[in-house]
Chain A
Amino acid sequence: MTTRYSALSLLKEGLAGQTGWKPAWRSPEPKPTYDAIVIGGGGHGLATAYYLAKNHGITRVAVLEKGWIGGGNTGRNTTVVRSNYYYPESVALYGLAHRLYEGLSKDLNYNVMLSQRGMVNLCHSVGEMEIGARTVNAMQINGIDAELFSPEDVRRVAPIYNFSPNARFPVFGGIWQGRAGTARHDAVAWGYARGASRLGVDIIQNCEITDFIIEGGRCRGVRTTRGDIRAERIGMAVAGHSSVLAAKAGFRLPINSYALQACVSEPVKPILDTVVLSPGVGVYVSQSDKGEMVIGGALDRVPSYGQRGNLPTLEGVVAGTLEMFPIFGQLKLMRQWAGIVDVVPDSSPIIGESPLPGLFLNCGWGTGGFKAIPAGGTLLANLLATGRHNDISRPFDLDRFATGRLIDEAAGSGIAH
């Protein structure tokens, strides 16, 4: 059987008709007890299991997924990886994720295709340039790569942008992060699943949580569609449905669920090399390695658990796309979809023990969970293994909503106030 992935093993398997590959992950029957349970087989949950095994040596771990792994927001997002954040707390978190992403393919022996072709956040006025400078300076002070781009710089990386003198959203410059880019979203889930499974983690699909087992005021396990499963430490990473599980556990979260839509055009030959985001237009675009334009925009207006696209938001997002790139007026939309995201008042994640002892949270990532997967997994694994925060996860505890110590990136960068 071939387990290690490499050009050589591909060659060997090519000669052998590709028949020697092992399952990427095992699908065992669930055991009645584990040392730790991770609810949610998305990127964050799988990464948590992987790091529990790798960093903490805890391998009696089950990942419980109600559907198929990577089927939530991990497989629905627009794959941007970046760490262009403002507050030091955010930089510590997303910077960790970004660094781990940079070594992830080799670590997992799975090519997640991290493609660091850079990202520019455009500024459309003098005022936005001032805020842009504030952000770039903050990033540089916090040790994150950032440049303040002039209009000429923007033209260099995105020559097909609308530089017409009559453009509704003219370019005054932008915030550039050269290390930003995209990764192959499914591969992140599968790579972690394969890595975790090889270290002994049980990945249980089609296993939905129906209730928590609570004894002596502590969470001791879960009831599932595949029977009761017990563990002393349970983590949940179920973005979009965090409130649903919280309700089963008897508490509320500062979360509203919204659909976030995305769409892709038909594939065309490469014409856009970098990720371009216009806060003014409310749209960002990149071109995938398959050639599709991957288009993301703002949240839907209506709180929802319906994982599907609609017209009014799509029309606005597409209008914004063509305002940015008028030549995309010759392209066709191939597919639109939506994921359900946890929207939190300060748009920062919640990582820490829940009000139900023994149950730990990884939720509230809003529209930006994908880029944080390696960090979210590392931090939840640390919490499950030690029961305690480290310096990076501490500021993101649920208690910040009572202390008022919110980490509001939008507030800091002057977008919303």
Chain B
Amino acid sequence: MQLFPCPFCGPRDETEFHYGGDAGNARPDGADVPIERWANYLHMRGNPKGVAREVWVHMNCSEFFVMERDTVTHEVLSSTALDGGHAQ
């Protein structure tokens, strides 16, 4: 059981969280966005082995935040509220 630090609720069990995707995956708007760009946004992923920046949601409080963690060791490096507030 990993412990993830919700910026609002503090360290909580991993089962309370839901993975939301790569951080910084900006959405291109418009019906005429080049399809490659749209597919890139919709499907392509960094999926790094090692340090990753990801969006997560703490389902208990519904708040989304950015978490940095190591996808191999599972060490959590930081978590940041979307509005810039830091946890811990």
Interfacial residues, chain A to chain B (CB-CB below 8 A): 241, 243-244, 247, 252-257, 301-306, 310-312, 345, 401-402
Contacts and interface: CB of A to CB of B under 8 A. Distances in A.
Contacts of A255: 45, 47
A310 B1 CA distance: 7
Contact of B36 (A256, A312, A402): A402
B26 interface: no
B24 to A, nearest CB: 13
B52 interface: yes
6 contacts: A241-B49, A243-B46, A255-B47, A301-B18, A303-B47, A310-B1
Given A302-B74, A312-B1, 4 more contacts: A243-B47, A252-B45, A304-B72, A401-B39
A254 B41 CA distance: 10
Contacts of B46: 243, 247, 252
Given A312-B13, A312-B15, A402-B36, A306 B72 contact: yes
Interface of B: 1-2, 13-15, 17-19, 35-36, 39-40, 42-49, 52, 54, 71-74
Given A243-B45, A401-B43, A303 B71 contact: yes
A306 B14 contact: no
Contacts of B54: 303
A322 B42 CA distance: 38
Nearest to B52: A303
A396 B74 CA distance: 32
A304 to B, nearest CB: 5
Contacts of B2: 302, 310
Contact of B44 (A253, A306, A312): A253
A256 B47 contact: yes
A257 B71 contact: yes
A292 B29 CA distance: 53
B44 A301 contact: no
A29 to B, nearest CB: 28
B71 A305 contact: yes
Contacts of B13: 312
A358 B41 CA distance: 25
A247 B44 CA distance: 12
Contact of A306 (B19, B52, B74): B74
Contacts of B1: 310-312
A254 B44 contact: yes
A61 B54 CA distance: 39
A402 B42 CA distance: 9
B19 A303 contact: yes
B14 A302 contact: yes
A257 B48 CA distance: 9
Nearest to B35: A402
A309 to B, nearest CB: 12
A48 to B, nearest CB: 23
A124 B52 CA distance: 39
A303 B36 CA distance: 25
A402 B37 CA distance: 9
